[in-house]
Amino acid sequence: MTSSTRPDAAAPDAGSTVDEVTPPSLDDPDPLLLAAVRALARASRLLERASSELSLAHYRVLAAIASGDVRATRIAARLAVGKPAISAAVESLCQRGLLARSVVKGDQRAAALHLTPSGRAVLDRVEAEMTRQLSELSTHMPEPRQLFESLVWLDAAIEADLAERAATRGGTR
């Protein structure tokens, strides 16, 4: 790892910067990268506990549909989970009245998924609470906007990686 300041502690100090992150070796993981993995794991748990209305898995499905993915196969690919897991989540969300299925013209086997008004309301409440929690945590950070931008970049990197994997398998995303 090339950096202006190589952190030896679990978390970087406010003045440290990283110019380039090199993938860690399995024998000697980068302490900053390891701390980031652990922080993401803790943050995901905090976000999941932000609401008693949705599990994080169900939140991810509703958020994907709200972002424009309406086919279960596309959602499974985007979330990098198996089709059975998506099918179970969709069924549960439909039973709760948060999702609705509709027929796809030209493909009677396929169903398009849509948020119901109740689903939109639950998603809005959950996202408001998650946003509030993240905003509250950010008051303890030296550069909260930088973190938020980095998380958006991480999401874009995940999308690019999934697209590359699909292309090498001969599939499409």
Burial 155-164 (b: 16+ CB within 10 A, else e): eeeeeeeeee
Tell me the per-residue pLDDT of 137-171, one tens digit each, with 9 for 90 and over. 999 999 999 999 999 999 999 989 988 888 888 75
133 phi and psi, to 5 degrees? Answer: -60, -45
Phi, psi of 120, deg, nearest 5 = -65, -40
CB 1 within 8 A of CB 22: yes
Q: Can you say whether residue 154 is alpha, beta or left, with left for phi > 0 and alpha for psi between -120 and 50 degrees?
A: alpha
Assign residue 125 a region (left: φ > 0; alpha: ψ between -120 and 50; beta: otherwise).
alpha
pLDDT in tens, 69-91: 888 888 998 888 998 999 999 99
Is the pTM of the predicted complex or chain greater than 0.85? no
Query: Can you name the residues that pair with 18 across neighbouring β-strands?
Result: 3
Where would I find the beta strands (DSSP E) of the chain? Answer: 2-3, 18-20, 99-104, 107-115
User: Which pLDDT does position 105 carry in this prediction?
Assistant: 80
Q: DSSP character for 22? A: P
pLDDT at 106: 76
Q: 9-23, 50-64, 92-106: lowest mean pLDDT where?
A: 9-23
Mean pLDDT for 96-110 is 85
Q: Which of 137, 109, 113, 161 is nearest to 46 (CA)?
A: 137
Q: What is the pLDDT of residues 52-61, one digit of tens each?
A: 899 999 999 9
Per-residue pLDDT for 9 more than 50? no
The yes-or-no verdict on residue 12 having pLDDT over 50 is: no
Please report the domains of the chain, with CATH numbers, ordered by start residue.
53-168 (1.10.10.10)
Interval 11-22 mean pLDDT: 50
What is the share, in percent, of the chain residues with pLDDT greater than 70?
A: 83
